[in-house]
Amino acid sequence: MIRARGLERRYGAKRVLRGVDLEVPRGGFTLVTGRNGSGKTTLLRLVAGLAAPTGGELDVGVERGQLGFLAHEPLVYRELTAIENLRLYARLYRVPEPRERIGMLLERFALWDVRNQRAGLYSRGMMQRLALCRALLHEPELLLLDEPYSGLDSEGAELLDRELAERVGRTTFLVATHDPDRLAPLASGALAL
Amino acid sequence: MTYAKDVVALARKDLLLEFRARETLPAMLLFVLATLVAFRFALPADASERASVGLLWVAILFTALLGITRAFIPEREQRVLDGLVLAPVDRSAIWLGKVVATLAFLGAAELVALPAFGLFFESVTWSTVAAVALADVGICAVGAILAAMAAAGRARELLFPVLFLPLSLPILVGGVGAAVSADPGRYLAFLALYDGVFAILAWASFEYVVTE
Amino acid sequence: MAVAAAVVLVAGVALALLWAPEDADQGPSQRIFYLHVPIALTAYACFGWGAWKALRLLWTGDQRYDLESYTAVHMGTIFGTLTLVTGSIWARTSWGVWWSWGERQLVLFLILFLFYAAYFMLRFSLPEGPGRARISAVYALFGVVLIPISFLAIRLGEPDPPGRIHAGRAADVGRHVLHVLRLPRRHAPARRHDVFERACRKAPRSAPPRPEGVT
């Protein structure tokens, strides 16, 4: 589903990624590890299509509508409520039966009670859970997760574990993480930057 | 049809954001009033009618500047624009949604500015109103894409006026001409031409401004 | 190639300034006009070329077009600035003022100068990469569309002076062409102007004795 050869991304004189080869088959679960600044986020952004490679080849076999991205930032409007944010994204991703889907996700991530609060008032953990709702809203075939556990307390982490476990096999994963041990049981591949 | 729905959803989002924050629109309203008053003091007592109409247009342009500079701020903060660009939405719909929302703000500001102008200076003719309406489309169409360009880099609030003013000079000519000329038709037609040409260009090229 | 270009350039400037016959009315300093027109045309060509390369960049995604487009716009801006300078000198020699709002070319280039100066500010504010290339390209396209639109606006914005016989671009170009064509007629004395030329040169300036913008 994802194939990269000699992938390179420069920012001016600085080369953040050089000669990266990657192959993630459909249904695969690949971990991307590396120190801070090793280019994990950049790699994910390239695969997501938010940035273009400056060298090498990249082939991602899904359309935008089938791709879910949990970025470093939550990508939600702080002045809107959780419901309003998700409604907008549901519209943009053409999610069928949006109300039910939004309600279900908010419940699964324990955000139902705060659904009418402005996202700007959320704690770090709540924000991360909202971002996960956003990424999973349209049931994507390919999920790109950038440090998904960051900011989550133990409860939140358990919720995430459950969601990931449910999707392994049906969904393709590319996950950047500092803490590979937690996800090692699910992983079928790894890339060290 | 889905395109139109996307545009509506995006424009609604911007209007909702402004309704919550209540920052930009009040500032625009106050600014345009204050500018008109400042112009009154700036003009000598025997200034001609032509001069004051010109200043109305300058006031409108600068008020638009104030409003549009902030157009992509919500998306710029925390890279929310990435979320929109990731979606399977035509990127030009993002532009069009911004244009619709900005038109609403600018129109609201003009609902205050034009009567104020009529009060402080001289009455507003139909040709002025028509010119303002046409010019608004051009201002918002061009402003929306330039705001996205400026937002992509550093010093965005400084950069946007510099980008916007040269492109707005033809609008100034068209607008003032329509207001003072005995034959406003030519100027209105010119404004329509400006709108058509630049709106199409902006619509077609917005994709390339927000993607790599 | 570069040497040949340099030689031709120097020869052209020398011809313009030294060999061309003196203008009957204005004297030797009028010759700046022989530089002004080609410089203006070159500026247009550069901007057009920059826009073409910009389009190629957006169409193919090949990054080398970014450098080509940027270079063309850069050259165009230099020539545009020179157009303003030579035009200003010409205005000084023709009418005794350093600027004239009645001169369409000058006003057009002033607007373009503002626009393309902003191009560099925009470019400078963006981090290097494919994103900057795309945004610069779109801006360059806006520029090339601005040229005819601004020209129309300037034309519209002029009040029609009563004595003008030939309004419009054709007359401007005609005047320019006539000036250039007078080059071979070395012995055309002051008195022997043809009527058309006299009409073109005298009429627009006889109604208001001085161009607008000068009190």
- Kindly state the tokens that stand for B126: 């139909």
Interface of B with A in 122-181 (CB under 8 A): none
The CATH superfamily of A1-62+141-151+171-193 is P-loop containing nucleotide triphosphate hydrolases (3.40.50.300)
Rounded CA separation B48/B12 (Å):
42
**Chain B: residue whose CA lies nearest to C63:** B212
| pTM greater than 0.90 | no
Domain boundaries, chain C: 25-206
Whether the predicted pLDDT of C197 surpasses 60: no
Lowest mean pLDDT among A93-97, C8-12, C170-174: C170-174
Of A182, A82, A75, give the one whose Cα is nearest residue A135.
A75
Across the interface, of C58, C146, C157, the residue whose CB is closest to B208 is C58
Residues B17 and B78: beta-carbon distance below 8 Å: no
Q: In the 8-state DSSP scheme, what is residue C122?
A: H
Distance from the Cα of residue C165 to its chain's centroid: 23
Condensed to tens digits (0 to 9), the pLDDT of residues B144-194 reads 999 999 999 888 888 999 999 999 999 999 999 998 888 899 999 999 999
Between these two residues, C7 and C113, which has the higher pLDDT value? C113
The tens-digit pLDDT sequence of chain A (193 residues) is 899 998 999 887 888 888 899 999 999 999 999 888 888 999 999 999 999 999 899 999 999 999 999 999 999 999 999 999 999 999 999 999 999 999 999 999 999 999 999 999 999 999 999 999 999 999 999 999 999 999 998 999 999 999 999 999 899 999 999 888 888 888 888 888 8
Between these two residues, C95 and C208, which has the higher pLDDT value? C95
In chain A, the largest separation of any two C-alpha atoms, in whole Å, equals: 49
CA distances from C62 to A8, A48, C129 (A): 16, 21, 12
- Residue type for position C151: F
Across the interface, of A12, A51, A52, the residue whose CB is closest to C128 is A12
CA distances from B189 to B129, B178, B183 (A): 14, 10, 11
Condensed to tens digits (0 to 9), the pLDDT of residues C121-156 reads 999 999 999 999 999 999 999 999 999 999 999 998
Whether the predicted pLDDT of B122 surpasses 90: no
Using DSSP bridges, classify how beta strands A172-176 and A14-24 pair: parallel, antiparallel or unpaired. unpaired
Neighbours of B82 (CB within 10 A): 20
Q: In chain C, what residues touch A11 (CB-CB under 8 Å)?
A: 127-129
Q: In chain A, what residues touch C128 (CB-CB under 8 Å)?
A: 11-12
B143 in C contact zone (CB under 8 Å): no
Q: Which residues of A30-48 are buried (b: 16+ CB within 10 A; e: fewer)?
A: bbbbeeeebbbbbbbbbbb
Domain boundaries, chain A: 1-62+141-151+171-193
Residues 6+ apart with CB under 8 A from B179: B53, B56, B57, B125, B127, B128, B131
Q: What stretch of H or E contains C62?
A: none
Rounded CA separation B11/B18 (Å):
11
Q: Which residues of A touch C (CB under 8 A)?
A: 10-12, 51-52, 54
